[in-house]
C-alpha cells in the first residue's frame, strides 16, 4: 500500500536517499560518473530538512510512503512506512511560464509504473491551486529518460534552454499546464467500474 502525505522533518534522510538513488539511475550516462558517485544522501538530507520547514511562497513537499513486506531495504521505516518517492514545489521561481512550479519529483525505480508519480503530481497540483496558482510548470532535462511521463500528463513544452551542470552543457525543457485544472484532470484517480 502506498500513501501520499505531507513531508515531515524526520523524512529528510529518506528523501535524500531517494534523491541520490534516482539521480544515479536516471542520469547514468548523462552526467559524469564521478559526479553521480559523489552524491551524498546525508548532504541532500540537510537541504531537504530546510525545504520541508520552508513554507514561504507556497512551498510544500509531499512523500509517497510504502508499507508492507515488499518495502525496500535500507530506508528508514519508522512511523509505519518507507519513503519511496517525493515531490516539492511552490510559486514559480521565474515568471513567464506558470504561477506554480514543481521543483522536484522522484520515485524509486522499483516503484515506478504504479501511479505513484501521478499521485504525487496531483498532491502538488492541488496544493498549488489551493495557494492561488492558476497554472503550473516544471523544468526537466531533455536527456532525462522519464520526461515522457510529463507528456503523458498533458504537459506542453513552452521553453528550452541550455544550462551548465556538473561541468557540461545540458538542454532543459520547460513544460506547463495552463490552466492548472488540466493537470488536476490528468492526475485524477481512475474511476472503478
Domain assignment present for residue 124? The answer is yes
Supply the pLDDT for residue 190: 75
Q: How many domains would you assign to the chain? A: 1
For the cut 50, the answer to whether the pLDDT of residue 75 exceeds it is: no
Supply the pLDDT for residue 146: 87
Rg of the chain taking only CA atoms, in angstroms:
16
pTM of the shown model: 0.91
Domain assignment present for residue 57? The answer is yes
Domain assignment present for residue 52? The answer is yes
CATH number at residue 12: 3.40.630.30
Confidence category of residue 78, pLDDT binned at 50, 70, 90: very low
Confidence category of residue 80, pLDDT binned at 50, 70, 90: low
Supply the pLDDT for residue 16: 97
Supply the pLDDT for residue 172: 97
- CA-CA distances (angstroms) from residue 6 to 19, 88, 120, 127, 143? 17, 10, 10, 10, 30
Supply the pLDDT for residue 191: 62
Q: Where are the beta strands (DSSP E) in the chain?
A: 2-6, 60-66, 82-91, 100-107, 136-141, 156-165, 168-177
Confidence category of residue 68, pLDDT binned at 50, 70, 90: low
Q: What is the pLDDT of residues 82-106, one digit of tens each?
A: 999 999 999 999 989 999 999 999 9
> What mean pLDDT comes out for the span 28-46?
95
Q: How buried is residue 130: exposed, middle or buried, by Cβ count under 10 Å (0-12/13-18/19+)?
A: exposed
Domain assignment present for residue 149? The answer is no
- Give the span between the Cα atoms of 90 and 76, in whole angstroms: 26
Q: Please state whether beta strands 136-141 and 100-107 pair in parallel, antiparallel, or not at all (unpaired).
A: parallel
Domain assignment present for residue 65? The answer is yes
Supply the pLDDT for residue 67: 83
- CA-CA distances (angstroms) from residue 127 to 87, 156, 190? 11, 21, 20
For the cut 60, the answer to whether the pLDDT of residue 74 exceeds it is: no
Domain assignment present for residue 93? The answer is yes
> What mean pLDDT comes out for the span 139-160?
95
Domain assignment present for residue 58? The answer is yes
Residue 109 CB coordination number (10 Å): 13
Domain assignment present for residue 163? The answer is no
Structural domain range at position 73 = 2-133
Amino acid at each position: 500500500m502506498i500513501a501520499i502525505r505531507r513531508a515531515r522533518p524526520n523524512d529528510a534522510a529518506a528523501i535524500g536517499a531517494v534523491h541520490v538513488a534516482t539521480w544515479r539511475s536516471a542520469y547514468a550516462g548523462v552526467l559524469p560518473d564521478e559526479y553521480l558517485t559523489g552524491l551524498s544522501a546525508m548532504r541532500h538530507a540537510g537541504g531537504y530538512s530546510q525545504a520541508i520547514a520552508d513554507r514561504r511562497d507556497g512551498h510544500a513537499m509531499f512523500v509517497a510512503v510504502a508499507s508492507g513486506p515488499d518495502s525496500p531495504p535500507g530506508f528508514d521505516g519508522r512511523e509505519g512506512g518507507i519513503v519511496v518517492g517525493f515531490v516539492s514545489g511552490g510559486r514559480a521561481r521565474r515568471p513567464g511560464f506558470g504561477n506554480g512550479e514543481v521543483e522536484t519529483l522522484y520515485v524509486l525505480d522499483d516503484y515506478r509504473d504504479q501511479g505513484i508519480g501521478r499521485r504525487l503530481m496531483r498532491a502538488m497540483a492541488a496544493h498549488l491551486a489551493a495557494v492561488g496558482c492558476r497554472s503550473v510548470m516544471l523544468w526537466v532535462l531533455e536527456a532525462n529518460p522519464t520526461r515522457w511521463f510529463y507528456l503523458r500528463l498533458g504537459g506542453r513544452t513552452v521553453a528550452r534552454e541550455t544550462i551548465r551542470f556538473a561541468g557540461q552543457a545540458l538542454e532543459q525543457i520547460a513544460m506547463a499546464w495552463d490552466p492548472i485544472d488540466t493537470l488536476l484532470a490528468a492526475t485524477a484517480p481512475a474511476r472503478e467500474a
